[in-house]
């Protein structure tokens, strides 16, 4: 890949991995002008990466996003959820993050939970599913980080209904979750945690 290719305008969606960043990084030393900001970004994210288990999805750092440009960090179709963010340029609130419904017609087959409340832990069956890292184009040392945890469906067999069919009802799973019985929930569970990491630029 040439250096001209590596400096294309970043895509708005961050859903798919972008191996081109690593290809450019491996071409030469960090002192190349067009690679300096990437090297600074990698050094800034190194401590955070060391603390995380290896996610199920292998995803490199995403292309930097410009101030004021809304972008999709990740979608979970099973939960009808899309994570959207924007670097605002406002020192008081440098990043705007929200979860939006994919569509009004979408019927969820999984439940999205707040990681701060459920506190996902590998000992409780949670798996780190994805680690999305998005640097600011205006301030490369500032990185929006989204961690997605996944809890697989419980191994117990779903109940049989009056027609002899095995069915899983979202309402029943929600009752299990509300009662603190996350491990018994018969639908896939996801938990999302968002943080803005790194140092703000002056």
How much is the pLDDT for 133? 97
Q: Which of 133, 139, 149 is nearest to 195 (CA)?
A: 133
pLDDT beyond 70 at 75: yes
**pTM for the whole thing?**
0.64
**Burial of 61 by CB count in 10 Å (0-12 exposed, 13-18 middle, 19+ buried)?**
buried
How much is the pLDDT for 153? 76
How much is the pLDDT for 193? 96
Q: Using 50, 70 and 90 to split pLDDT, how confident is the model at 136?
A: very high
What is the average pLDDT across 160-173? Answer: 52
pLDDT beyond 80 at 103: yes
């Amino acid at each position: 890949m040439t250096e001209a290719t590596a400096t294309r305008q970043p895509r708005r969606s961050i859903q798919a991995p972008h191996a081109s960043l690593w290809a450019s990084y491996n071409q030469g030393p960090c002192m190349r002008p067009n690679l300096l900001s990437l090297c600074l970004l990698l050094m800034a994210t190194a401590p955070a990466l060391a603390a995380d288990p290896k996610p199920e999805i292998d995803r490199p750092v995403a292309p930097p996003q410009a101030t004021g440009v809304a972008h999709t960090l990740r979608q979970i179709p099973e939960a009808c959820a899309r994570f959207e963010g924007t670097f605002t340029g406002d020192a008081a609130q440098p990043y705007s993050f929200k979860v939006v419904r994919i569509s009004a017609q979408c019927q969820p087959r999984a439940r999205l939970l707040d990681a701060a409340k459920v506190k996902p832990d590998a000992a409780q069956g949670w798996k780190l599913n994805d680690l999305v890292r998005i640097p600011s184009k205006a301030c490369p040392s500032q990185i929006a980080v989204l961690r997605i945890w996944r809890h697989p469906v419980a191994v117990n067999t779903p109940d049989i209904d009056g027609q002899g069919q095995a069915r899983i009802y979202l309402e029943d799973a929600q009752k299990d979750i509300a009662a603190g019985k996350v491990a018994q929930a018969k639908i896939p569970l996801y938990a999302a945690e968002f943080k803005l990491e790194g140092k703000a630029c002056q």
